[in-house]
């Protein structure tokens, strides 16, 4: 049985965020909108940010981690995430903003500015 494609991809750009990325991941995966994809982009961290994100994702098939070999900076690392996104709309979330509320309904995929493929929170 095929699954529906995600309606939105949420991106978390993480650099040296081992202590906070797990809470950010949990916040996103706890949203009531089930048609989401979570992509955590480890931007060349030297700490265990990627491992912490993987632990927080667990066996939830909606989440995955992309590890960059070197630090590209937030803009370029999020661009990598946008390229990896499966959904037509992407939303970036800062791991330092540990919790996020509001992704309860996409209302036909128009949760954000329809002129833009990505937004930041």
Q: Is residue 30 part of a domain?
A: yes
pLDDT on residue 68: 96
Question: Is residue 14 in a domain?
Answer: yes
Secondary structure string (H, E, C) spanning the chain: CCCCCCCEEEEEEECCCCCCHHHHHHHHHCCCCCCEEEEEEEECCCCCHHHHHHHHHCCCCCEEEEEECCCCCHHHHHHHHHHHCCCCCEEEECCCCCCCCCCCCCCCCCCCCCCCCEEEC
Tell me if 110 is assigned to some domain.
no
Q: What CATH number does the domain containing 66 carry?
A: 3.90.550.10
The pLDDT value given to residue 34? 86
Residue 34: inside a domain, yes or no? yes
If one counts the domains in the chain, the total is 1
In a domain, 116, yes or no: no
Could you list the residue range(s) of the whole structural domain that residue 89 is in?
Answer: 8-101
pLDDT tens for the chain, 121 residues: list them: 457 889 999 999 999 999 999 999 999 999 888 899 999 999 999 999 999 999 999 999 999 999 999 999 989 999 999 999 998 876 776 665 444 444 433 333 333 333 344 444 4
The answer as to whether 16 is a domain residue is yes
Q: Please give the pLDDT value at position 93.
A: 64
pLDDT, residue 105, reads: 37
Asked whether residue 33 is domain-assigned, the answer is: yes
pLDDT number for residue 113: 37
């Amino acid at each position: 049985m095929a699954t529906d494609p995600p309606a939105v991809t949420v991106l978390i750009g993480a650099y040296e965020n081992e202590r906070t990325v797990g809470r950010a991941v949990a916040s996103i995966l706890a949203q009531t909108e089930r048609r989401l994809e979570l992509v955590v982009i480890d931007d060349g961290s030297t700490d265990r940010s990627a491992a912490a994100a993987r632990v927080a994702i667990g066996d939830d098939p909606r989440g995955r981690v992309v590890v960059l070999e070197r630090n590209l900076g937030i803009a370029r690392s999020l661009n990598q995430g946008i390229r990896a996104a499966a959904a037509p709309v992407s939303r970036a979330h800062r791991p330092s903003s540990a919790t996020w509320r509001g992704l309860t309904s996409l209302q036909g995929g128009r949760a954000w500015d329809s002129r833009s493929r990505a937004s930041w929170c």
